[in-house]
Chain A
Amino acid sequence: MINAFTGLWKTSGYFRFGIVAVVFAVVMVVLSFFSPYKPMESYAVAADAPPSLENWFGTTSRGQDLFWQMTFALRNSLAFGIITALLSRIIAIFVGMYSGYKGGWFDKVLMSVNDSFVIMPVLPILLLLNFLLRDQMNWFYMSLMMALLGWAWDARLIRSQVLSLKERVFSETAVFCGMPTRKIIFREHMPYVLPVLFSTTINNLLWSIGMEVTLSILGLTNLNNPTIGVVIFWANQHQAMISGSWWWVAAPVIVTVFVFTGFYLLSVSINEFIDPRTRLRMKGGAA
């Protein structure tokens, strides 16, 4: 494990960038627990100050320190994104793998459900639900909702992989040996699907946070709980771009871009590491 880490660190620039970003994100999340201010506390610091040594990311028109606010925002957004991605992965893995492997009527039923979710217009539905349930809505319910709406594409992707895997000789041999379906799926096929799964997880994380930003900017989430979207919402509310306090928008955008580029590159480098075919490619063998 440690060997793998140092090896990756030495050889992969992606990995180094990813680790730096993850460490940054973790530090931010940890710092949020030691914040000198409450998440949305107003007029705790001087208003509208540009970034300086004292206020690293500047301050808002409501007298909040953007650095400390971003620690909360990142924590909430990440928690939201990770929970959404994990929940939707669970659905996508089960639907995709079992439906692909079992085939027949099982596949037909699951895929018709799957396709119904694929064609659903997610944003309008989310807007409507958020509008209707605004008072009861918290981030956990919202991530549950997003997970229910966000698994279908990936389930199809996983299914398509399994459709090809189950026809291979090693799968048939596994069936002949009497390996139970669960084991075939999770031992023999899972390693194949893992790289796809990693990148779809990151995609799903980005997608769900993007959705959350959209909903927050429209003012449809709990605006007293800072997330990346909520910070941008308040910046817009105070017309930060027009009044010249660009840092209010820049802070959430730059932090998000940095952390997510890092996440993405980390997943790419880990994928390459766990995929045995990479070793072949690195040596210049056939792909």
Chain B
Amino acid sequence: MSDLILQTKGLRASYITHLYGIDREVKVVDGVDLSIKKNEFFGIAGESGCGKTTLLKLIAGFCKPPLQVQAGSVEFLGLKEPMSLFEATEAELYKIRWRNISYIMQGSMNVLNPVRKIFKSFEDFAYPHMLELTPAGFKQRVIEHLGNLRLSKEVLETYPHELSGGMRQRVTIGLATLCSPEIIIADEPTTALDVVVQRETLGLIKRIQKELANTIILVTHDLAVHANVSDRIAIMYAGTIVEEGKTTDIFDRPAHPYTQHLIRSLPRLGDKEKKGYLKGAPPNLADPPPGCRFHPRCPLAVDRCRVEVPKLELKKSGTMAACFLAE
């Protein structure tokens, strides 16, 4: 028995629209293989528009038009039998959602319906998945759980706008962790917060992860956050994973040129050197460049990079990188 909890194989998905005879296909996720372990804090980093959120939606098995899966699979391995999320029926998905996989969506401050009291949101979202509890038992459970997150039970009778951003964030985290799911998927959970609240929130997520010994998949473009909390990270560029490995390895010995530039661009204490930058912009995903998607901006690119797509391979540095030139 492996210690994996979730695995994607050759995942490929696009946003496909047809309008007035114009077909548009935006290839947002292209050939992603991820193996996520039990009890790990897995980070996904990348710039805006590189497909992070889409990848998360696919991992959550939450895919609706115009997003279409074209190839590959996502398997959830937390049950007795591996479960393919794209082949499962709605009823099967319903069973594992929130119980086994919960998902804090981007803009997590707005997960709570602004015109419903907090407890109503708990009832709407979580209670159908915890029907073994009586309504009173459920309320008790929610109160205890929020107490763990240092929220008083009065919070339950308020509307979201009456809470501060940090409190709302904690309520959202409480909502996502109430059923102790094996996997918590969090999309930019700290983006709208200042660093103090950010630190507090991350500490909370980390603590919950330790207590529940579950897996957290965290997406953010903020590498400092990853450096703080993630055990392993994957770097995404234009819909593909360009590098994946232990956080320390990636920060110390990045193998892929994109990662190298990314890490080099981070400010460090006492560092007076002027930061360099890469010319150009990420490619248009409706018409991505052939070969390695990074080659138009890569200072090291050779002819091979323009034709062939590099595979993610183990490099000397100890990380997996998709680059012909890295050793």
Q: How far is the CB of B315 from chain A (nearest CB, A)?
A: 37
In the complex, which residues of chain B have a beta carbon less than 8 angstroms from the beta carbon of A276? 114-115, 159, 161
For the complex, is B124 an interface residue (Cβ under 8 Å from A)? yes
Q: Is the CB of B116 within 8 A of A188?
A: yes
Q: Is the CB of B103 within 8 A of A173?
A: yes
In the complex, which residues of chain A have a beta carbon less than 8 angstroms from the beta carbon of B156? none
What mask results when residues 157 to 182 of chain A are scored 1 for a CB within 8 Å of chain B, else 0? 00000000000111011111111000
For the complex, is A10 an interface residue (Cβ under 8 Å from B)? no
Q: Is the CB of B111 within 8 A of A173?
A: yes
Q: Is the CB of B110 within 8 A of A178?
A: no
* Residues of chain A in range 38-53 having any CB-CB distance to chain B below 8 Å: none
Q: Which of A179, A183, A188, A275 has the most CB of B within 10 A?
A: A188
A275 CA / B93 CA spacing, docked (Å): 35
Which residue in A170, A179, A275, A277 is a CB contact (below 8 Å) of B112? A170
Q: Is the CB of B113 within 8 A of A176?
A: no
For the complex, is B39 an interface residue (Cβ under 8 Å from A)? no
A280 CA / B90 CA spacing, docked (Å): 40
What mask results when residues 170 to 202 of chain A are scored 1 for a CB within 8 Å of chain B, else 0? 101111111100010001100110000000000
Q: Is the CB of A280 within 8 A of B161?
A: yes
A172 CA / B106 CA spacing, docked (Å): 10
Q: How many residues of B contact A (CB 8 A)?
A: 28
In the complex, which residues of chain A have a beta carbon less than 8 angstroms from the beta carbon of B64? 175
Q: Is the CB of B97 within 8 A of A177?
A: yes
Give the nearest-CB partner of B105 in chain A: A169
In the complex, which residues of chain A have a beta carbon less than 8 angstroms from the beta carbon of B116? 187-188, 191
In the complex, which residues of chain B have a beta carbon less than 8 angstroms from the beta carbon of A169? 105-108, 110-111
Q: Is the CB of A178 within 8 A of B124?
A: no
In the complex, which residues of chain A have a beta carbon less than 8 angstroms from the beta carbon of B106? 169
* Residues of chain B in range 112-144 having any CB-CB distance to chain A below 8 Å: 112-116, 121, 124-126, 128-129
Q: How far is the CB of A285 from chain B (nearest CB, A)?
A: 8
Q: Is the CB of B124 within 8 A of A183?
A: yes
Q: Using A168-B110, A169-B111, A276-B115 as known contacts, say yes or no to A179 and B128 having CB atoms under 8 A apart.
A: yes
Q: How far is the CB of B8 from chain A (nearest CB, A)?
A: 18
Q: Using A169-B107, A169-B110, A192-B115 as known contacts, say yes or no to A176 and B124 having CB atoms under 8 A apart.
A: no
* Residues of chain B in range 61-113 having any CB-CB distance to chain A below 8 Å: 62, 64, 90, 93-94, 97-98, 103, 105-108, 110-113
Which residue in B90, B115, B128, B161 is a CB contact (below 8 Å) of A177? B128
In the complex, which residues of chain A have a beta carbon less than 8 angstroms from the beta carbon of B98? 177-178
For the complex, is B59 an interface residue (Cβ under 8 Å from A)? no
* Residues of chain A in range 203-217 having any CB-CB distance to chain B below 8 Å: none
Q: Which of A170, A175, A179, A188 has the most CB of B within 10 A?
A: A170
Q: Which of B93, B111, B126 has the most CB of A within 10 A?
A: B111
For the complex, is B60 an interface residue (Cβ under 8 Å from A)? yes
In the complex, which residues of chain B have a beta carbon less than 8 angstroms from the beta carbon of A177? 97-98, 124-126, 128-129
In the complex, which residues of chain A have a beta carbon less than 8 angstroms from the beta carbon of B97? 176-178
Q: How far is the CB of A174 from chain B (nearest CB, A)?
A: 7
A170 CA / B103 CA spacing, docked (Å): 12
Q: Is the CB of B159 within 8 A of A170?
A: no
Give the nearest-CB partner of A286 in chain B: B161
Q: Is the CB of A188 within 8 A of B103?
A: no
In the complex, which residues of chain B have a beta carbon less than 8 angstroms from the beta carbon of A175? 62, 64
Give the nearest-CB partner of B187 in chain A: A169
Q: How far is the CB of A90 from chain B (nearest CB, A)?
A: 22
Q: How far is the CB of B162 from chain A (nearest CB, A)?
A: 8
What mask results when residues 257 to 276 of chain A are scored 1 for a CB within 8 Å of chain B, else 0? 00000000000000000011
Q: Is the CB of B128 within 8 A of A170?
A: no
Give the nearest-CB partner of B121 in chain A: A170
Q: How far is the CB of B105 from chain A (nearest CB, A)?
A: 5
A176 CA / B112 CA spacing, docked (Å): 14
Which residue in B60, B111, B113, B161 is a CB contact (below 8 Å) of A277? B161
Q: Is the CB of A176 within 8 A of B60?
A: yes
Q: Which of A173, A178, A187 has the most CB of B within 10 A?
A: A173
A26 CA / B124 CA spacing, docked (Å): 39
Q: How far is the CB of B99 from chain A (nearest CB, A)?
A: 10
In the complex, which residues of chain B have a beta carbon less than 8 angstroms from the beta carbon of A173? 103, 105, 111, 125
Q: How far is the CB of B248 from chain A (nearest CB, A)?
A: 33
Q: How far is the CB of A177 from chain B (nearest CB, A)?
A: 5
Give the nearest-CB partner of A177 in chain B: B125
In the complex, which residues of chain B have a beta carbon less than 8 angstroms from the beta carbon of A168? 110
In the complex, the 3 A-B pairs of residues with the closest C-beta atoms, listed nearest first = A178-B94, A191-B115, A169-B110
Residues of chain B having any CB pair with chain A under 8 Å: 60, 62, 64, 90, 93-94, 97-98, 103, 105-108, 110-116, 121, 124-126, 128-129, 159, 161
* Known A191-B113, A191-B116; further 5 A-B contacts with Cβ < 8 A: A170-B111, A173-B103, A175-B64, A176-B97, A176-B105
20 contacts between A and B (CB under 8 A): A168-B110, A169-B105, A169-B106, A170-B113, A170-B121, A174-B124, A176-B60, A176-B62, A176-B103, A177-B97, A177-B126, A178-B129, A179-B128, A183-B124, A187-B124, A188-B113, A188-B124, A191-B113, A276-B114, A276-B161
